[in-house]
Amino acid sequence: MAVLKGAHEEVTRTPAARRDVQALWIGILISLLCTALIWWTGEWLQSVPHLPKAGHDASWYYWKLPAATLMGRLSSWGLYAVQQIANWGLIWYAQTHVKKYTTGLHKINIITLVVNVVFVILHVVQTQLWYDGLAQDVSIFSSQGSVIVLLIWVMLMENNRRGVFFGKRLPISQRIMHFARKYHAYYFSWAAVYTFWYHPTENTPGHLIGFFYMFMILLQGNLFFTRVHTNKYWTFFLEVLVLAHGTLVAVQNANSLWPMFFFGFGAVFVITQMYGLGLKAWERWSVLAVYIAGVIYVYSGRGFTRLWEVIAIPLIDYPSVIVLALLIGLGLQVYTWLRPATRQQSVNQRSAN
């Protein structure tokens, strides 16, 4: 707060609120309202027939029609494609025309927010009319896998800032890191929009939590080139939200696997994520002690033979960070090998003309 003193008066000036932060809170409110809309309209889907379960197929998905319809496929894939292409186009425009970060809002941020809200409403209408999402044609593992890779990609991007293992960085080249940061928005947009259209807008607790999570990821993407987009507390919230989502869905499904999600994603928090929050050493040790105490308490009753559940998710995530970095590095190396030939072709064409 600044105080300006003149000859006859004293004026108190309060710093102006940041528009990007205001947009974040408005976006969260809109996301809650969109989730409430799905909850409300989901009651109208009670009479819709669903796919009966056959055997113990792990890829079985209940929320689709027993037989696909032409309009179900055309509407879900068509609207998904339009939203996806629109988001990629807006990202490309921002990267080629905006380029710089601000504590305010760019016009493109507002446009992107409006576009995605419109498609949320369209998906609700599409579900009511034709029901099926992309689940009718693709595996549930593709939806789950897309979000898992997104979270792994975040761990890779944050390597330089907070490290991967207890604050220690992986020796990843800056070229790979630059690629991961520059092009992550295209993959994140695909993962969020694809997963959003995979499911019909049902109002089970699992669906509602999942939709809200996707809205948060879309909101983060909509706020590109604003300072709040890189705020460490906001991005941490987005990462840790998967812990709540996975745990609550497991509890809803009554499959007794909730500790695997709670302590598995909790392990990622104590090994990696909390090192990006600027905590003091004693605070980190305290968090680790509480985590270990929680594991001992739960598994003393659950059985220590099931401790494999605690490390299942970390055993997937951490090798995957390395694999993702290697794949990006391989792609960049192949591009380097092919680039001279491409340049020579261009020179030969110009010479011929």
Among the residue ranges 8-17, 64-73, 320-329, the one predicted with the least confidence is: 8-17
* Per-residue pLDDT reduced to its tens digit, 199-216: 999 999 889 999 999 999
Cα four-point dihedral sign 106, 111, 114, 119: negative
Cα four-point dihedral sign 134, 130, 211, 51: negative
Tokens (6 digits) for 65: 């029609």
Is the pLDDT reported for residue 177 higher than 90? Answer: yes
According to the model, what pLDDT value does residue 338 have? 85
Task: For residues 164 and 168, give the distance between their C-alpha atoms in angstroms, rounded to a whole number.
Answer: 6
Secondary structure in 3-state letters for the chain: CEEEECCCCEEEECCCCCHHHHHHHHHHHHHHHHHHHHHHHHHHHCCCCCCCCCCCCCCCCCCCCCCCCHHHHHHHHHHHHHHHHHHHHHHHHHHHHHCCCECCCCHHHHHHHHHHHHHHHHHHHHHHHHCCCHHHCCCHHHHHHHHHHHHHHHHHHCHHHHCCECCECCCCCHHHHHHHHHHHHHHHHHHHHHHHHHCCCCCCHHHHHHHHHHHHHHHHHHCCCEHHHHCHHHHHHHHHHHHHHHHHHHHHHCCCCHHHHHHHHHHHHHHCHHHHCCCCHHHHHHHHHHHHHHHHHHHHHHCHHHCHHHHHHHHHHHHHHHHHHHHHHHHHHHHHHHHHHHHHHHHHHHHHC
* Per-residue pLDDT reduced to its tens digit, 212-236: 999 999 999 999 999 999 999 999 9
Task: For residue 24, name the pLDDT band (cuts at 50, 70, 90).
Answer: very high
Among residues 233, 241, 234, the alpha carbon closest in space to that of 210 is found at 241
Full-model pTM: 0.87
Task: For residues 310 and 312, give the distance between their C-alpha atoms in angstroms, rounded to a whole number.
Answer: 6
Place of tokens 């960085």: 169
According to the model, what pLDDT value does residue 251 have? 83
Among the residue ranges 11-15, 147-151, 193-197, the one predicted with the least confidence is: 11-15
According to the model, what pLDDT value does residue 6 have? 44
* Per-residue pLDDT reduced to its tens digit, 92-126: 999 999 988 999 899 999 999 999 999 999 999 99
